[in-house]
Structure 1
């Protein structure tokens, strides 16, 4: 409900007095903090409670978001908070929680849409995407809309889902409020410019008599879960490293470490299924190599956006050095005047294969060019946080978060560092006592069943087992009676059996009812988790018929698809169904939130 004029006047007086004591930097921080508080509270509302009712004259803005990792959700929440502050009534919803055809009833839609993988819509937006792009899509002549598209320029189909929806909405008769904005993983600056620009545009196109109320317009919003957390992607918490210990043994070809971080006093809350975001720091030796090869002045002060830093600091903390993206390659090809690099960029298949094994430093070596510090800083993409599935339950270690980290890459034959920035930092660069900037990224689409009696089938090869460890810990701590069945896979039992002793302990204690493992290199034929699912098909189907929830975590390029097909085969063979009926069975499980995936 709206705050009364008397209370509002008193609040204005108090806030004005408080704000007068702040300098410009402090005011900017306070503004962001309050917007974050409002956004976090919006996130804690149940779908039916997302409507924020303002004064009678306030128009309603509908904000939908499709998000795979939480970035889109965060943008939508901040947009909702800004709109509310301008006096709008806001209806905020995930595209997972709406009926796609309800789009035909809307007057104004602000759509924040991510793209997942190879140009695919995020899972929670699949139904909307399918409808809007189909021949059955409704006419939308009365709709005004705007699209904020998030993507990753390291993929060829950059912002594909947002672009498709934007184009199709126009084709269906809808009117753009403003041109679509496409952003990369370092989207903060673009987002900060887009939100006020969009809302100013919205205000100018409202019909007469619909002008939004002016002046402060604070409203009460009920928290549905917990206290507001102000620590987020933009305001990380410096967590102390407690422990780093190997989970694999030599001669494993994929070293994996268990990492424990202390969050005591942070106020952070999380649930099993959530991820931890880490802002990584590039290795000092890699930074030195880039400075040497490029020839830039490391101490030159460079301005980019709202920040001015020395070039070395930009390279160490702010810029992406371990992933190659097309915009950088195009800029470097121009600087180097390289026909070979241009030809490579124009060949998508060859480029994808080439970039998969190279980093920024390799481009500088292979295609020499001389640029100044400001030019190099401007060319490079901003660094983005890395997400790791949380491998511990807050009921077991309430002040700690555990991670399961696979080291990507390492040193090449010439002793040059060619590794993943975050995995190398976590497993090789930091020590107990060091601190790391982190935040919790919630994942409402990967949650344990509310019914503690429900069985759970958990499928997580490799480091995909991380959140499943948290699941088993959590269900044991709750005293859940539902049975748990874990499918785990790795290359070799002796070297790569992650958390082996813990699984054996869970089995003895009754927290893990069944454990099925697949070690692909321990025999002549390759055996993976999908093979174990088929081998135990009768029991798997029996669990499904008894209401089991299925969780899949890990590789989204091959494993998740292979597991999905194995489940479909089991349902068809054991349930006497056609392939089409098996697909419908799995679709129904997904709709009921009994089949959830956290893949990457």
Structure 2
């Protein structure tokens, strides 16, 4: 007896796809009838709950978690992705199958959206039990951070085991290039979880292939060749720093971005540094070398354009047997992310950066920051380099334009706040704006001075507090100014102000955080425990956001 096709012609598939799907489903039904079984019960058992929880500071872990949730759903799981800040331990026990994806920031710290969850499972004597929970951890990190590499993921992995949860797959620690490791890990985890039910495996294994939608347009894998249109020194003569305003044209790219996002920039190593390394290691610069993508180039060109060589500069020569051994020991040269310093509403078809050129001497050897000196010294006006946008959903202005905004950004941390203020001006936001800016000396290091003073004069900037550390005997920093203005800051916070920090994670961000807690206690009359809860609440409702590095 003929059957009515299961996939109608109105479905959004080509004729070939409809024919394949109809044949596939008919075969499943036929086998089910011959075995006296129906497809529905098996399909139901395949819908295992799966929670993919993420701790994300810059958005990588969040994007990956959401992508894997879609893949898991296509494999028959009842999957969902959720930030750790939205979860309680009871959620894990209820869903039982949990995948954790987390980055690490600062000196081995939890991402901002994972702190409250970590505290909830790390309380001695009152931590919840996770018996019955099956889990695995994918930790994202950067090996350049040494002992703190992937530390947040390692901590979560260890704590879950201590609380009685069962690993289905051992933790995987990823370096900057995490795509392939993430694919291997997710495939292994999905397979391990699927084997819990023979019926579900039989059905899931024969589901139609997952359709992977390729990104179109310009992105990290296909960067836009952006021409450099601006390179302006922001420090005056006499400064010990070299900070540049860098501008790229986006004309013809079709690209757009939001303030708070970051720009990924493809860079090259300094040819002088590469030549010194080749000489020190007695290597032929014209010998053939394999590139990370499988192609070939001269060794010199490969080291300039494709491999990290920072750790080789100034080290004791190592006479290797051949060029291949040398190249295989190196990491791929990564694009660098910079906080965007402009609003596209104020500068159509442009994107701006605020870059501090890094140069220093170690035992007589001159070292250069790879990306900063590439932008400051080696990329000429009119020349192009590949760029892409990195979405930073964790660092956004309030959607309610009437909300007050407090911004703390010393040094190049001013970058996103220049963008914020341009955006607030362009959108006519009625909310008050308060900026804390600091650097070494007012006369030489007041970055974007004229524009900031104009914002004060026009009222776009409601209040400006500056801290120039070396203009007086006692050093003054942005957190010093915060404490001086504690009463007014507390008033702003109580009015619903959003609080933002950008800059150094190791010291400044921690000092600012401590000052914020102190202000809540002293000006707000709260206990230390109440101040902690107040800040946690700010983070929960996205009123305390950080872009730190």
**Shorter-chain TM-score range:** 0.7 to 0.9
The answer to whether the aligner puts 1:138 opposite 2:87 as a matched pair is: no
Task: Say which of 245, 264, 277 aligns to 1:290.
Answer: 277
* Number of the residue aligned with 1:577: 526
Q: Does the alignment pair 1:321 with 2:309?
A: yes
1:104 and 2:93 correspond: yes
Q: Which residue of 2 aligns with 1:496?
A: 445
Distance 2:500 2:396 in 1: 9
Tell me how far apart the structure 2 counterparts of residues 401 and 119 of structure 1 sit (CA, whole Å): 31
> Which structure would you say has the larger Rg?
2
**Contact 1:166/1:180 (<8 A) preserved:** yes
In structure 1, the residue matched to 2:34 is none
When the two structures are superposed, what TM-score results if normalisation uses the length of structure 2?
0.86
| 1:530 alignment partner, SS class | helix
In the alignment, structure 2 segments of 5+ residues that lack a partner are 1-5, 20-42
* Partners of 1:407 and 1:392 in 2: CA distance: 19
Instruction: State which of 140, 148, 162 in structure 2 corresponds to 1:150.
Output: 140
Aligned to 1:383: 333
**Superposed displacement of residue 68, structure 1:** 1.9
Counterpart contact for 2:291–2:306, Cα < 8 Å: no
- After superposition, the C-alpha distances for 1:420-455 in whole angstroms (9 at most, x for unaligned) are 111011111112221122221122221111221111
Cα 1:455/1:292, change in 2 over 3 Å:
same
Q: CA deviation at 1:503?
A: 0.6
Aligned counterparts, 1:224-243, within 5 A: 231-243=218-230
Q: In structure 1, what is the Cα distance between the partners aligned to 2:452 and 2:127?
A: 49
Shift of 1:207: 5.0
Task: For 2:15 and 2:208, locate their aligned partners in 1 and report how far apart those are by CA, in whole Å.
Answer: 11
Q: Is 1:525 aligned to 2:474, yes or no?
A: yes
Partner Cα distance (2:184, 2:199) in 1: 27
Q: For 1:490-569, what aligned pairs fall within 5 Å after superposition?
A: 490-569=439-518
Task: Summarize deviations over 1:442-497 as a string: whole Å, max 9, x none.
Answer: 22221111221111111111010110111111111111111111111010111110
- Pick closer, same or farther for the CA change 1:575–1:131 going to 2, 3 Å: closer
Tell me which residue corresponds to 2:156: 165
Which range moves more in the overlay, 178-187 or 232-241? 232-241
Distance 2:163 2:10 in 1: 43
Counterpart of 1:92 in structure 2 is: 81
Equivalent pairs, count: 516
Aligned counterpart for 2:13 among listed residues 6, 11, 14: 11
Residue 192 of structure 1 and its aligned partner are, at CA, apart by 4.0
Comparing 580-589 with 122-131, greater Cα deviation is found at: 580-589
Q: Choose from 401, 404, 416 the match for 2:354.
A: 404
Q: Aligned partners of 2:485, 2:12: CA distance in 1, in Å?
A: 67
Q: Distance in 1 between matches of 2:71 and 2:530?
A: 46
Q: Is the 8 A contact 2:435 2:464 kept in 1?
A: yes
CA distances 1:197-236 after superposition (whole Å, capped 9, x unpaired): 4434443344534642634367999xxxxxx875433332
1:270 aligns with 2:262: no
Q: How is 1:73-472 mapped onto 2 (pairs within 5 angstroms)?
A: 73-135=62-124, 136-155=126-145, 156-209=147-200, 211-212=203-204, 214-216=206-208, 231-303=218-290, 307-310=294-297, 311-322=299-310, 359-363=311-315, 366=316, 368-409=318-359, 417-472=366-421
Q: Output the aligned Cα RMSD.
A: 2.9
Contact 2:234 2:245 in 1 (8 A): yes
Q: Which moved more, 1:164-173 or 1:204-213?
A: 204-213
How far apart, CA to CA, are the structure 2 residues paired with 1:362 and 1:282?
15
Distance 1:527 1:367 in 2: 44
Checking the alignment, whether the CA contact within 8 Å between 1:301 and 1:308 is kept in structure 2 is: no
Within 2, Cα distance between the matches of 1:113 and 1:196? 18
Residues 378/388 of structure 1: CA separation in 2 closer, same or farther (3 Å cut): same
Q: What TM-score does the superposition give when structure 1 sets the normalisation length?
A: 0.79
